[in-house]
A and B are shown apart, each in its own frame.
Chain A
Amino acid sequence: MTTALAPPPPAPPAVPVATGLGRPASSRVAETGVWIGIGAISMTFAALTSALVVRASDAPDWHHLHLPALLYINTLVLLGSSLTLETGRRHPGRAPLALSLTTILGGLFVMGQVIAWRQLMTQEIGGPSSAFFYVLTALHAAHVLGGMSGLVYVRHRMRAGVVSFVPYNAASLYWHFMAVLWLYLLTLLTLRG
């Protein structure tokens, strides 16, 4: 019933923060976070893929989509942006420039996607395959935009004089994943869309 209160425990033996882990916490955690994010994003697109497959199976109203040729140019732009980012990683001196270039290329990619949507809208009368096209590409573009803000943040940190490649590496991991994800979506839309 009554709770006997323990004597206050002796102060726990403690060590300074910086040595809490083998290496400073932040060195690993950004990358871990990106990996977890990649897991969640993959799951989201996996769900949409299975939705597409279910929806397309013996649906009388499913028409194969003729993808706008612009998409292939956009693909090249996105792959190019991955390259620029990677160059910055190999040559630290060019890192800030690489970040800016990549961000611009990312912006070009998203703009290209928007133009491709417009083209599709004038051609297509909105069947289910184009609905999936819009959902998949829009969701991907939103994630690319998120990645771009990450790049801007890393660039900002560099300007502030922080000479750590930890956030740079985490950001490039995410950015390369965006390219891989896009290649996957393009294949999916070409084969099943």
Chain B
Amino acid sequence: MFSVDHKVIGRQYLDLALVAVFTGMVLSWLMRFHLGWPDTPIPGLGKIAPGGAAGGVMTPEYYLALMTMHGTIMVFFVLTTAPFAGFGNFLLPIQVGAEDMAFPRINMMSFWVTLVAFLVLVAAFFVGDQPPLSGWTAYAPLSAVGKDAGPGQGWGQTLWAISIGIFCIAQLLGSLNFIATTLDLRTRGMSLARMPMATWAWFITAVIALVAFAVLMPACILLILDRVAGTSFFIPGGLVISDQLQPHTGGSPLLWQHLFWFFGHPEVYVAILPGFGIVSQILPVFARKPLLGPKVFIACLAAIAFLSYTVWGHHMFLSGMNPFSATLFSVPTLVITIPAAIVTLLWIGTIYGARLRFTSASLFALGFVSVFVSGGISGFFLAQPSTDIYLHGTYFVVAHFHFVMGVAAMFGIFAGTYFWFPKMFGRMMSETLGKWHFWLTFIGVYCIFMPMHYLGLAGNVRRYSAFTDDYLQPLIPLHRFITIAALVTGAAQLIFLYNLIRSRLRGPQAPDNPWEATTLEWSTSSPPPHDNFGGRRPVVTQGPNEYAVAGPGGRDYIMQAESR
């Protein structure tokens, strides 16, 4: 259990993410059901949450609590833990030819601290008053003033802030390991230029995460102090809540927003860049040809990492910050679409002239490209202050971020799972079930999230627990369609779960290199021995992109640790 082996830690992270993602998904079902049929009781819910959903019909505050938990769990405990901490931990040391991470004990701590953060968050569900309901962004002063502001502003919100603060520490420890390992533990011959694309992505993600979480952590401390110690970092004077004049002066609500989004925007890249790397590594394997422009790809990652720190204000165009800075923030936001567009074209160009093989992994990688395009395009609308005036705060935003970071990152996780499962567990997953999973999920996510753009254009506001006004009533049928699509797509995830469990127990034995790939993890056994390469370290003789070449034994590829 308390292993310092990076492979065990990586699997622990992935298991945690699996628990978290199903929790988050069930929460989204409840939300979606309520939005489609607000007055129909949900069987059993009344028993689980007698306070929040007496008789199975949830209260507005319970809806918001589910939404807050859903967003927080998904962003922090799924999209940060699985693609970055989970796959990165398992694979990064092997891909650079190391025996383990640079600081195995710190690495182990990173996981257990993450688990504590998760348990603290889950505890917020069960504390005396209500679970927190300020959304995953926890805007102050709602999140800071405490009980007077209504249900969910007591212990629940404090636990939320504590959980996120702890989570930051865990990810700082993890990122430190990723960076040090990549810099110092590469095996002989593994120059930076020969590193696999996924390793590059995890490395750059770690740099982003190090800076981002180092900022969110003190912000959480200040928030907690405002809540429990009576300070006024984020709470201005003269607030009257429930007819009570609040005993605070001089704090700045916008300060929280600036700190949060300085973290928050880079965080969405923490969620998606590992997917970039995973796809860039998987596509060439199944296209049987090298990635188009690997150096360009790395340069784009670096550009995105740098730009990600300059764009946070695009979440705050209408927040009351200086309107001149809106234009300033809009420019880098639009500029960041250039490297993203280049990367997309590189993937599409890689498929050109390929001998494309279809497996669950490659299908999800192709699906990733499609959904990433869909999500990226809607960014054009939100990046311009002028069009954001209308679209901000509507379902258009929900559609955008679900495609670009939610679904795209999930597709990256799925692709990575189907691809590396044989290496992790020494057994193959069922391809038939995997393909069913892909088709249902691919069509399903479009049915769920594409219509949300239409809702947004029609002016449907987000974070509403019910649509009571005359204006939104005509949109209810579209909401019902989305709900049904969400339930069906969710059910399709059970196929994935079943496939995971069954293959882990009874899948056919996996060979060392089932996909005919080049990177180092495929030249050791499946699963790899404790020290990864059995007492020896590989010597790398070429880059990761040697496909469509005359390899030894008539193969069309050369592995990184092979000589020509």
Contacts and interface: CB of A to CB of B under 8 A. Distances in A.
Interface of A: 1, 3-10, 12-17, 19-21, 25, 28-29, 32-33, 36-37, 39-41, 43-44, 47-48, 51, 54-55, 59-62, 126, 128, 131, 135, 139
21 contacts: A3-B431, A6-B511, A6-B513, A9-B562, A13-B539, A13-B561, A14-B533, A16-B537, A21-B185, A21-B188, A28-B184, A32-B179, A39-B211, A43-B215, A47-B218, A51-B222, A54-B258, A60-B249, A62-B250, A128-B232, A139-B218
B359 interface: yes
A60 B236 CA distance: 11
A147 B187 CA distance: 30
Given A9-B559, A9-B562, A40 B211 contact: yes
Given A33-B102, A47-B259, A25 B185 contact: yes
B371 to A, nearest CB: 23
Contacts of A47: 214-215, 218-219, 259, 262
A16 B233 contact: no
Contacts of B186: 21
Contacts of B559: 9, 12
Interface stretch (B60-68, B323-331, B514-522): B514-522
Interface string B188-207: 10000000000000000000
Say what secondary structure dominates the interface of chain B: loop
Max count, chain A CB within 10 A of own CB: residue among B172, B183, B214, B252 = B214
A60 B249 CA distance: 8
B512 A8 contact: yes
Interface of B: 97-99, 102-103, 172, 175-176, 179-180, 183-188, 210-211, 213-215, 217-219, 221-222, 225, 229-233, 237, 249-252, 255, 258-259, 262, 357-359, 431, 511-516, 520, 522-524, 533, 535-539, 552-553, 555, 559, 561-563
Contacts of A25: 98, 102, 184-185
A61 B537 contact: no
A15 B172 CA distance: 33
Contacts of A61: 232, 237, 249-250
Nearest to B99: A17
Given A14-B537, A55-B255, A126-B230, A20 B188 contact: yes
Contacts of B524: 12
Given A8-B511, A32-B183, A128-B231, 14 more contacts: A3-B514, A5-B514, A6-B511, A6-B516, A6-B555, A12-B520, A12-B524, A12-B539, A25-B102, A43-B214, A44-B217, A51-B218, A51-B233, A51-B259
